Amino acid sequence: MNIYLIHGDNSIASYKRFRDYLDKAKNNGFEVTYIDNTNIIDGLRSYNLFNNKRLIAINNYSLIDKKTLEYLNKFKDDLELIIYHDNLIPSAFIQKLHGVKKNEIFRLSKHIWKFIENFYPGNTKVLIYHLNESVKTDPIELVFSLLSGYLKDIYLFLNTKDALNYPSWRINKIEFLSKKFGKKNIKEVINELANIDIKVKTTSSNLKDELDLFILRKLE
């Protein structure tokens, strides 16, 4: 059995690669079994009626518990196994998994996190620089989605700290940004970004251009 890993924090690129791999396998005559629940062992044991080449696709590495991992490491049938995860698969797990033929990691650039961590009023030049560098490799839609999530975390922190169940290092970053905005300002920023999202989805407006204009207009 050959095992292929597809994962990383660039979930858009990794999922595209995952789907491309499955489509290519089907076109090459593979019988594809897609598993997104805990019946992995049953899927591996399933009988191949027509003796076709087989590919098992597991969506989310965390479905593989200790028992399943041990079974995979002993499994000798001639088939292909893809394990997809929409974030990084821990190296500790990969080291325990035998038979990994290819480990494909799709990472976001450092600039996307620099952009988000510096997203506050009075930081226009830094924001524009990191945004421009980020979109060279990161999908703008993903940049916007991650930014929106971070701003919502700031809003929750300012209004109800108990709603955030994050490690202390992340809470510290959110607290730092919350002081830069304040309750009223963060609410206005979130509303304006929501309007940008609607505008881009309902008109021919460009998301990158709209985000640039927002930064220059509201965060200068």
Q: Dump pLDDT digits (tens) for 91-146.
A: 999 999 998 999 999 999 999 999 999 999 999 999 999 999 999 988 899 899 99
Q: How far apart are CA 152 and CA 110, in angstroms?
A: 21
Cα-trace Rg, the chain: 22
The segments of the chain whose pLDDT lies below 50 read none
- DSSP character for 138? S
Boundaries of every domain in the chain: 2-105, 110-218
Q: How far apart are CA 53 and CA 83, in angstroms?
A: 17
> Can you give the pLDDT at residue 161?
61
> Can you give the pLDDT at residue 168?
85
Phi, psi of 22 (to 5 degrees): -65, -40
- Evaluate whether 174 touches 154 at the Cβ level (below 8 Å): yes
> Can you give the pLDDT at residue 197?
94
The CATH number of the domain covering residues in 2-105: 3.40.50.300
> Can you give the pLDDT at residue 167?
80
State the chain's mean pLDDT as an integer: 89
pTM of the predicted model, to two decimals?
0.73
> Can you give the pLDDT at residue 50?
58
- Identical fold, 2-105 and 110-218: no
Q: Which CATH class is domain 110-218?
A: mainly alpha
> Can you give the pLDDT at residue 92?
94
| 52 token code pair | 């076709």
Q: How far apart are CA 210 and CA 220, in angstroms?
A: 15
